[in-house]
Amino acid sequence: MERAFDTQLEDLKRQILVMGGHVEKALTEVTTALLNRDEVRFAGIRDIEKKINDEHIKVDNSCLNLLAKQSPVAKDLRLILSIIKINTDLERMGDQTMNIAYTGRDYLGRKPLVQVADVSRMGEIARRMVKGALDCFVRGDVEHAREILLMDDQVDELKNSVFHQLAAHMKSNPGDVEAGLDLILIARNLERMGDHATNIAEDVIFAETGKDVRHGGLS
Amino acid sequence: MERAFDTQLEDLKRQILVMGGHVEKALTEVTTALLNRDEVRFAGIRDIEKKINDEHIKVDNSCLNLLAKQSPVAKDLRLILSIIKINTDLERMGDQTMNIAYTGRDYLGRKPLVQVADVSRMGEIARRMVKGALDCFVRGDVEHAREILLMDDQVDELKNSVFHQLAAHMKSNPGDVEAGLDLILIARNLERMGDHATNIAEDVIFAETGKDVRHGGLS
């Protein structure tokens, strides 16, 4: 029984890593598509998101079954609850990449704006955050998980900078209002993805230590 | 033991309703503040959000304890997992009202735009959605929960309409770019709140029926 439980937990972890890989892939695709003006990459996001959604339901079902049949306690229980939350965050990240793909395709129909480089950088940091958070999850690495929380500040700073630059540009160049709006919405999606990666890092800390670092409980 | 479990479940439900009440209140405050240009109401959102965050941690802890000590199965287990997810959604809704309050205060420093009326309507629908979803949660009312899912379309349609109107207005009136951006970001926050209310309705259906209606599984 004990061995079956451990095997099932390992399977669950693997499934979460597969989902994380899809999210990373989707982030790479949307940031590359934006920079290279490559509409085909945007079109491919739907397939990736579908895989994420399929895994999402499978992971939730596996967690429910594990809880019902094994009645885990203490750290095992915290781990499964963390997996349920991480699963939700990864699924929402998939949704966000779909939003980016929709808006991104509109953007490609407009005049390019230089701020797209910063937006793309936001995507790259968000990708590193989700990769880092899931590495921490697998290794139970609390210290590095705390570093992930700090990376979110970089995403937020870039977003603020992009917002201010674009607002000023749109004011002086009303013909670029739509393109600017597209980039602002994409930047907002990426900011949200940074938030989800932050949630994952917080869940890792909780699973490992039992400490709730949300709502300013970092120290 | 059984009775203690039921009592604890009822307590949890009550806590969720209290959080939902805070979210409703926050939504009423931000939509009223936008319409009446009332900065004081925006300032009050932080206190409401703090209450939501406090409840969030308490509910999570109670769920963890219930799972560890009572090892519930079947519908009781589904109910607790749903509560964990609803708790997360309500907390995120609190975050969104804080975002709206920040952007809303900026907006009040600018020239008013007529589109604020539609944005405010979005907030009112989102408020009715979260109220409705939590009513369904308490009553275990699956049929009405399905209706809540459809209300989200109204929020999305209003958002699309507001986006198009504001983009056109900003193009013709570059001096209103900042005010337009503020309303677009607030509309996006409210759209997201509609999504969270949708998640809650889906969780109610899952808790009651065991059916997963996410990712197009409505029928």
To the nearest whole angstrom, how far is the Cα of B72 from the nearest Cα of chain A? 7
Q: Which two tokens stand for residue A205?
A: 């800390």
pLDDT score of B217 more than 80:
no
pLDDT score of A110 more than 80:
yes
B78 vs A: CB within 8 A: yes
Alpha-carbon span A188 to A160, nearest angstrom: 10
Mean pLDDT of the residues in chain A = 95
To the nearest whole angstrom, how far is the Cα of A131 from the nearest Cα of chain B? 22
A106 vs B: CB within 8 A: no
Across the interface, whether the CB atoms of B64 and A85 are under 8 A apart is answered: no
B171 contact partners, CB below 8 Å, separation of at least 6:
A174, A175, A177, A178
Burial of A154 from C-beta contacts in 10 A (0-12 / 13-18 / 19+) = middle
Residues of A in contact with B178 (CB under 8 A): 167, 171
- Cβ neighbour number for residue A131 with a 10 Å cutoff: 17
Integer CA distances (angstroms), A19 to A50, A127, A137, in order: 11, 13, 13
To the nearest whole angstrom, how far is the Cα of A164 from the nearest Cα of chain B? 10
Band of pLDDT at residue B132, cut at 50, 70 and 90: very high
**Is domain A2-209 annotated with CATH 3.20.20.70?**
no
pLDDT score of A85 more than 90:
yes
- Cβ neighbour number for residue B217 with a 10 Å cutoff: 12
Span A123-168, pLDDT tens digits: 999 999 999 999 999 999 999 999 999 999 999 999 999 999 999 9
Which is more confidently placed, B131 or B217? Answer: B131
Span B32-71, pLDDT tens digits: 999 999 999 999 999 999 999 999 999 999 999 999 999 9
Q: Which two tokens stand for residue A89?
A: 């965050």
Q: Where are the domains of chain A?
A: 2-209
- Pick from A57, A170, A214: CB nearest B214: A57
- Pick from A60, A88, A167: CB nearest B181: A167
pLDDT score of B86 more than 60:
yes
B144 contact partners, CB below 8 Å, separation of at least 6:
B132, B135, B136
The percentage of residues in chain B with a pLDDT greater than 70, rounded to a whole number, is 97
A178 vs B: CB within 8 A: yes
pLDDT of residue A4: 85
Average pLDDT over residues A184-198: 97
pLDDT of residue B216: 73
B174 vs A: CB within 8 A: yes
Across the interface, whether the CB atoms of B68 and A81 are under 8 A apart is answered: no
Band of pLDDT at residue B211, cut at 50, 70 and 90: confident
What was the ipTM of the complex prediction? 0.93
Helix (H, G, I), strand (E, B), or coil: what is residue A166? helix
To the nearest whole angstrom, how far is the Cα of B141 from the nearest Cα of chain A? 22
Across the interface, whether the CB atoms of A64 and B77 are under 8 A apart is answered: yes
Which is more confidently placed, A215 or B63? Answer: B63
Alpha-carbon span A151 to B22, nearest angstrom: 31
B15 contact partners, CB below 8 Å, separation of at least 6:
B55, B58, B59, B62
Q: Helix and strand tally (H, E) in chain A?
A: 7, 0
pLDDT of residue A217: 67
Band of pLDDT at residue B100, cut at 50, 70 and 90: very high
Among A119, A141, A159, smallest CA distance to A200 is for A141
Residues of A in contact with B64 (CB under 8 A): 77-78, 81
pLDDT of residue B219: 40
Residues of B in contact with A188 (CB under 8 A): 185, 188
Stretch (H or E) spanning B63? helix B39-70
Among A42, A174, A164, A49, smallest CA distance to A107 is for A42
- Scan for tokens 């990426």, then name that residue: A190
pLDDT score of B218 more than 90:
no
The percentage of residues in chain B with a pLDDT greater than 90, rounded to a whole number, is 93
Residues of A in contact with B174 (CB under 8 A): 170-172, 174, 177
The percentage of residues in chain A with a pLDDT greater than 90, rounded to a whole number, is 93
Q: How large is the greatest C-alpha to C-alpha distance in chain A, in angstroms?
A: 68
pLDDT of residue A3: 67
pLDDT score of A219 more than 50:
no
Scanning every residue of chain A, which has its alpha carbon at the shortest distance from the alpha carbon of B55?
A215
